[in-house]
C-alpha cells in the first residue's frame, strides 16, 4: 500500500473525529472544537466537546476499528470475503451473553463483557460446526447460512431473556439488536479500549498466521503452521474484538464486512497491512455513521446499526454476486 | 531423506484403509514418483506427511527423525510441500507470496514479511520467477503460477520438495520446463517426491517409481521395472500397451480404445 494512502487514511480519521465533535444539536466550528480539546475556549463548549461528544466519538473510533479488524481476521482465516462478526452470528452470540449477564442483575462491565466473550466464542464454534456438518466451512454460502441461523437464534434468545426483565433495569432489546453509541461514557471507553488494544495487539503479532491460513489449511500446514491451534487463537481474538464492541454498543453489522474490502481496494495485501488499514477505515466509517445516526433525524436518534446496514446490504449483494 | 515405513492411514468410518502398509524412500539426489489411479491413496500419503490425516500405524520419517517428534515448523524447514489445490483467498504480490515460504524460519511472534530475505530472491531466481515479482497472484497464467509456487517452496530452504499433481494445468512447454527444473534440483542433491498422473513423463524423469493401487504398492522400482503392460493394465483397469518413446527410448504407455461393441 502506497504511503500517501496511509496518510490519507489517517487524515480521514482525524477529519471524521473533528466532524463528529463539531456536528450535533449545537454546531461547533473546527476551531472551537480544537480550542475545547486543548482546554481553552468557552466552558459550555468544553463540556459539550469533552464530556458529551468526545467519549461517544472515542467509542465509535474504537468500536469501528475493532469490528473492522475482527472482520479482516475472519475473512482471512475462513478464506471468505463475506465473513464478518455480525453476519456469522458472532456478534449475536456476544449480545446473548451480555444480555444474560445484564438480566442476571449484574451490570459490572467486566462481567457483561465476559458474558459477551463466552457468547461470541460459543457462536464461532457453533457456526463452524454447523457449516462443517453441512459440508463445507470454506464454502462461503454454507458458512453464511450457518451464521444467519446462529444469528437468528441469538436474536430470539435476546427477545426471550429481555421479555421478562424489568424495563427500567436493562437496555431494550432494540438497543442490543440495532446497536447504538448514544449511551457512550468515559467509563465505557475506559474498559473497552484495553480489550480492543489486547485483541488488536495479538492479531498484529500473529498476522503472519492469517497470511498463511489464507492459502488454505493443507498449504498452511506445509508451510509449518499448526493449523488448528493458529486458527483457534485467531478466532478467539476476532471474537474478543466483537464481544467488547457488542457489550459497549450492541450489534453493529456490516462494518466488518465492508471495511476490509475497502482496505484491500486501497492496496492493502498482507494481513498486517489489511489489519492496519481496516482499523483506520473502520474508525472513520463508524464515526461518520454515528454522526449520521444522531443528526439525520435530529432530535431523534437512529440506531447506528441501521445506518451501517443501509450502507452494508447493497455492498453485501455486490460481493455475493462476485463469488462463484 | 523422506521414508514411509509400513504406513497405514484410515479415514474416519472407512472400513478399507486409504493407505495400507506402504513403505518406500525418497532419497536425496533423486526424483521419486508415486503414481496410481484416482483414489489409490497418492494424495493421502502427502496429507499424512503434512500431519493432516491420522496415521494409524507405521512411521513417516524425515532425515531419520520421526515426523511425530518434529514440530510443524521443523518439518517445514526440511521439506516443502506443494499441495494439489492452493489459491490465496486474497491476491498477494508475488514477492510477498514467495516470502510466505520463510514462515517456518520466522519467530512465532515476529512477522517481518521477509520480502528482503536473500533466500526469497534466490528461490525466485532458481524457479524462473524473478520477472514476476511485482505481479499479483491473481494475474498469473497457470504456468507462471506454478513457477511462483515452486519458488515459494524453494524459499522454505529445505532439502526435500514434495509436489502433488504439479502439472495438472500446464501446457507441454510449461510441463517440460517444470520437470526439467525438478530434475535439476535432484541433480543438485535435493530429494524430489512427486505425485503424478503423467506416467510417460514420470518414466522419463523419475529415478524410482512407486505404483499404488487401492492403498497398496503393486510395483516399485526403476521406470523399466514398473512400466509393464500387464501390471498397468490390471491397476488402471483399461486396455493399454507399453512401448518405447521414439526420442529417448523410455517406456511409454499408450491407452487403447475400448473394444467396440457391434
Is residue B183 domain-resident? yes
Is residue B262 domain-resident? no
Give the span between the Cα atoms of A87 and A149, in whole angstroms. 10
Which of B72, B82, B106 comes nearest A226 by C-beta? B72
Which of B50, B74, B82 comes nearest A221 by C-beta? B50
Give the span between the Cα atoms of A189 and A44, in whole angstroms. 22
Name residues whose C-beta falls within 8 Å of residue A293's C-beta, 6 or more positions apart in sequence: A180, A181, A301, A302, A303, A304, A306, A307
Whole-prediction pTM: 0.90
Give the span between the Cα atoms of A154 and A86, in whole angstroms. 11
CA angle A59, A241, B99 (to 5 degrees): 120
A214 touches chain B (CB under 8 A): yes
| Residue A257 contacts residue A104 (beta carbons within 8 Å) | no
- Output the pLDDT for position A167: 63
- C-alpha A289 chain-centroid distance: 13
| Residue B31 contacts residue B178 (beta carbons within 8 Å) | no
Is residue B125 domain-resident? yes
| Residue A73 contacts residue A257 (beta carbons within 8 Å) | no
Cβ neighbours of B106 in A, within 8 Å: 208
- Output the pLDDT for position A300: 85
Mutation target for A interface from B68, B79, B111: give the one with most A CBs within 10 A: B111
Cβ neighbours of A269 in B, within 8 Å: 90-93, 96
Is residue B247 domain-resident? yes
Mutation target for A interface from B82, B98, B100, B160: give the one with most A CBs within 10 A: B100
Q: Please say if the pLDDT value at position A220 is more than 60.
A: yes
Q: Is A239 exposed, middle or buried (0-12, 13-18, 19+ CB in 10 A)?
A: buried
- Output the pLDDT for position B203: 93
Q: Quick one: which of B160, B155, B82 has its CA closest to B116?
A: B155
Give the distance from residue A186's alpha carbon to the nearest chain B alpha carbon, in angstroms: 33
Give the span between the Cα atoms of B88 and B92, in whole angstroms. 7
- Output the pLDDT for position A105: 63
B-chain residue closest to A79, CA distance: B89
Name residues whose C-beta falls within 8 Å of residue A308's C-beta, 6 or more positions apart in sequence: A179, A252, A253, A254, A255, A285, A286, A289
Q: Quick one: which of A245, A253, A211, A250 has its CA closest to A231?
A: A211
Largest CA distance in chain A: 63
* B192 DSSP β-pair partners: B31, B161
Mutation target for A interface from B48, B70, B83, B89: give the one with most A CBs within 10 A: B89
Cβ neighbours of B101 in A, within 8 Å: 223
- Output the pLDDT for position B111: 54
Which of B83, B92, B106 comes nearest A219 by C-beta? B83
Percent of chain A scored above 90 by pLDDT?
53
Give the span between the Cα atoms of B92 and B66, in whole angstroms. 34
- Output the pLDDT for position B11: 87
Region of poorest pLDDT, from A81-85, A97-101, A135-139, B15-19: A135-139
Is residue B69 domain-resident? yes
Question: Helix and strand tally (H, E) in chain B?
Answer: 9, 12
> What's the domain count of chain B?
1
CA angle A150, A154, A156 (to 5 degrees): 120
Q: Quick one: which of A266, A212, A249, A221 has its CA closest to A85?
A: A249
Q: Quick one: which of B225, B211, B227 has its CA closest to B45?
A: B211
Q: In a structure prediction context, what are the per-residue pLDDT tens digits for chain B, which is 262 residues long?
A: 999 999 999 987 788 899 999 999 999 999 999 999 998 999 999 999 988 888 999 999 999 999 999 999 999 999 999 988 888 889 999 999 999 999 998 876 555 556 678 889 999 999 999 999 899 999 998 889 999 999 999 999 899 999 998 877 788 888 999 999 999 999 999 999 999 988 999 999 999 999 999 999 999 999 999 999 999 999 999 999 999 988 888 899 999 988 776 6
Secondary structure (3-state) at A276:
helix
At A55, the pLDDT band (50, 70, 90 cuts) reads very high
Give the span between the Cα atoms of B79 and A37, in whole angstroms. 58
CA angle A262, B110, A244 (to 5 degrees): 50
Give the span between the Cα atoms of A256 and A313, in whole angstroms. 12
- Output the pLDDT for position A280: 97
Give the span between the Cα atoms of A300 and B125, in whole angstroms. 64
Averaged pLDDT of chain A: 89
Name residues whose C-beta falls within 8 Å of residue A300's C-beta, 6 or more positions apart in sequence: none
A272 touches chain B (CB under 8 A): yes
A-chain residue closest to B51, CA distance: A221
Is residue B101 domain-resident? yes
Give the distance from residue A19's alpha carbon to the nearest chain B alpha carbon, in angstroms: 34
Query: Which grid coordinates belong to A34?
Result: 480544537
Give the span between the Cα atoms of A202 and A237, in whole angstroms. 7
Residue range of the domain that includes B61: 2-255
Q: Which one-letter DSSP state was computed for residue B81? A: E
Q: Would you tell me which residues 61-120 of chain A have a C-beta closer than 8 angstroms to some C-beta of chain B? A: 75-76, 79-81
State the average pLDDT over residues A121-136: 86
Which position has the higher pLDDT, A307 or B111? A307
Q: What are the angstrom distances between the C-alpha of B198 and each of A43, A203, B181?
A: 81, 43, 16
Peptide bond into B21 cis (omega under 30): no
B-chain residue closest to A224, CA distance: B73
Name residues whose C-beta falls within 8 Å of residue A34's C-beta, 6 or more positions apart in sequence: A18
Give the span between the Cα atoms of B119 and A22, in whole angstroms. 53
* B191 DSSP β-pair partners: B30, B160
- Output the pLDDT for position A305: 92
> The domain spanning residue B72 has which CATH number?
3.40.50.300
Do B86 and A76 lie within an 8 Å CB cutoff? no
| Residue A121 contacts residue A139 (beta carbons within 8 Å) | no
Q: Please say if the pLDDT value at position A139 is more than 90.
A: no
Give the distance from residue A209's alpha carbon to the nearest chain B alpha carbon, in angstroms: 9
| Residue B171 contacts residue B144 (beta carbons within 8 Å) | no
Cβ neighbours of B85 in A, within 8 Å: 216
Do A226 and B88 lie within an 8 Å CB cutoff? no
Is residue B261 domain-resident? no
Instruction: Please give the domain boundaries of chain A with CATH numbers for all domains.
Output: 3-322 (1.10.3470.10)
State the average pLDDT over residues A177-206: 92
B50 touches chain A (CB under 8 A): yes
- Output the pLDDT for position A172: 72
What are the pLDDT digits (tens) for A252-275? 999 999 999 999 999 999 999 999
Give the distance from residue A61's alpha carbon to the nearest chain B alpha carbon, in angstroms: 26
Do A217 and B52 lie within an 8 Å CB cutoff? yes
CA angle A86, A89, A95 (to 5 degrees): 85
Q: Is B23 exposed, middle or buried (0-12, 13-18, 19+ CB in 10 A)?
A: middle
* B253 DSSP β-pair partners: B242
At A277, the pLDDT band (50, 70, 90 cuts) reads very high
Cβ neighbours of A207 in B, within 8 Å: 111
Q: What is the CA radius of gyration of chain A?
A: 19
Q: Which one-letter DSSP state was computed for residue B159? A: S
Which of A81, A212, A270 comes nearest B103 by C-beta? A212
Is residue B260 domain-resident? no
State the average pLDDT over residues A185-206: 94
CA angle A208, A264, A83 (to 5 degrees): 75
State the average pLDDT over residues A284-304: 91
- Output the pLDDT for position A41: 80
Cβ neighbours of A264 in B, within 8 Å: 90
Q: What is the dihedral of CA A188, A189, A194, A197, to 10 degrees?
A: 130
- Output the pLDDT for position A170: 58
Query: Which grid coordinates belong to B212?
Result: 499404488
Q: Quick one: which of B138, B26, B151, B33 has its CA closest to B95?
A: B151
Amino acid at each position: 500500500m502506497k504511503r500517501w494512502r496511509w496518510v490519507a487514511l489517517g487524515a480521514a480519521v482525524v477529519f471524521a473525529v473533528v466532524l463528529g465533535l463539531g456536528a450535533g444539536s449545537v454546531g461547533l466550528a473546527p476551531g472551537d472544537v480544537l480550542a475545547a480539546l486543548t482546554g481553552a475556549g468557552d466552558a459550555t463548549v468544553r463540556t459539550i466537546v469533552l464530556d458529551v461528544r468526545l467519549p461517544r466519538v472515542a467509542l465509535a473510533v474504537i468500536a469501528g476499528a475493532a469490528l473492522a479488524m475482527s472482520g479482516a481476521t475472519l475473512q482471512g482465516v475462513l478464506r471468505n470475503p463475506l465473513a464478518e462478526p455480525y453476519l456469522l452470528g458472532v456478534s449475536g452470540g456476544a449480545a446473548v451473553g451480555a444480555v444474560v449477564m445484564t438480566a442476571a442483575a449484574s451490570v459490572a462491565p467486566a462481567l457483561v463483557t465476559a458474558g459477551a466473550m463466552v457468547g461470541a466464542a460459543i457462536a464461532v464454534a457453533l457456526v463452524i460446526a454447523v457449516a462443517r456438518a453441512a459440508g463445507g466451512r470454506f464454502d462461503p454460502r454454507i458458512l453464511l447460512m450457518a451464521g444467519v441461523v446462529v444469528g437468528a437464534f441469538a436474536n430470539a434468545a435476546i427477545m426471550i431473556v429481555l421479555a421478562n426483565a424489568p424495563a427500567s433495569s436493562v437496555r431494550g432489546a432494540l438497543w442490543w439488536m440495532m446497536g447504538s453509541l448514544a449511551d457512550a461514557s468515559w467509563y465505557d471507553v475506559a474498559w473497552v479500549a484495553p480489550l480492543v488494544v489486547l485483541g488488536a495487539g495479538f492479531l498484529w503479532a500473529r498476522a503472519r498466521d492469517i497470511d498463511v491460513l489464507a492459502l488454505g489449511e493443507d498449504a498452511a500446514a506445509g508451510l509449518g503452521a499448526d493449523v488448528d491451534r493458529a486458527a483457534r487463537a485467531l478466532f478467539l481474538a476476532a471474537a474478543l474484538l466483537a464481544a467488547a464492541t457488542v457489550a459497549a454498543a450492541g450489534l453493529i453489522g456490516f462494518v466488518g464486512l465492508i471495511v476490509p474490502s475497502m482496505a484491500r481496494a486501497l492496496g492493502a495485501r498482507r494481513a498486517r497491512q489489511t489489519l492496519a488499514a481496516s482499523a483506520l477505515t473502520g474508525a472513520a466509517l463508524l464515526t461518520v455513521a454515528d454522526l449520521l445516526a444522531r443528526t439525520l433525524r435530529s432530535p431523534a436518534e437512529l440506531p447506528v446499526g441501521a445506518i451501517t446496514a443501509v450502507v452494508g446490504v447493497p455492498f453485501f449483494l455486490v460481493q455475493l454476486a462476485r463469488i462463484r | 531423506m523422506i521414508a514411509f515405513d509400513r504406513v497405514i492411514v484410515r479415514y474416519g468410518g472407512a472400513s478399507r484403509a486409504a493407505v495400507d502398509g506402504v513403505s518406500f524412500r525418497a532419497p536425496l539426489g533423486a526424483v521419486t514418483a508415486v503414481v496410481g489411479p484416482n483414489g489409490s491413496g497418492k494424495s493421502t500419503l502427502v496429507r499424512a506427511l503434512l500431519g493432516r490425516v491420522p496415521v494409524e500405524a507405521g512411521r513417516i520419517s524425515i532425515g531419520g527423525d520421526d515426523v511425530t517428534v518434529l514440530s510443524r515448523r521443523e518439518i517445514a524447514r526440511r521439506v516443502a510441500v506443494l499441495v494439489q489445490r492452493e489459491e490465496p483467498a486474497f491476491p498477494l504480490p508475488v514477492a510477498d507470496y514467495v516470502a510466505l515460504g520463510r514462515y517456518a524460519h520466522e519467530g512465532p511472534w515476529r512477522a517481518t514479511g521477509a520480502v528482503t530475505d536473500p533466500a526469497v530472491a534466490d528461490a525466485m531466481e532458481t524457479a524462473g520467477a524473478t520477472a514476476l515479482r511485482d505481479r499479483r497472484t491473481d494475474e498469473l497464467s497457470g504456468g507462471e503460477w506454478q513457477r511462483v509456487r515452486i519458488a515459494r517452496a524453494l524459499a522454505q530452504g529445505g532439502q526435500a520438495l514434495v509436489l502433488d499433481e504439479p502439472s495438472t494445468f500446464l501446457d507441454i512447454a510449461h510441463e517440460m520446463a517444470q520437470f526439467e527444473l525438478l530434475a535439476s534440483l535432484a541433480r543438485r542433491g535435493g530429494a524430489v517426491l512427486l505425485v503424478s498422473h503423467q506416467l510417460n513423463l514420470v518414466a522419463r524423469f523419475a529415478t524410482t517409481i512407486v505404483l499404488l493401487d487401492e492403498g497398496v504398492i503393486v510395483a516399485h522400482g526403476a521406470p523399466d521395472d514398473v512400466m509393464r503392460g500387464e501390471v498397468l493394465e490390471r491397476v488402471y483397469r483399461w486396455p493399454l500397451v507399453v512401448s518405447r518413446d521414439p526420442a529417448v527410448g523410455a517406456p511409454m504407455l499408450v491407452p487403447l480404445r475400448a473394444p467396440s461393441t457391434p
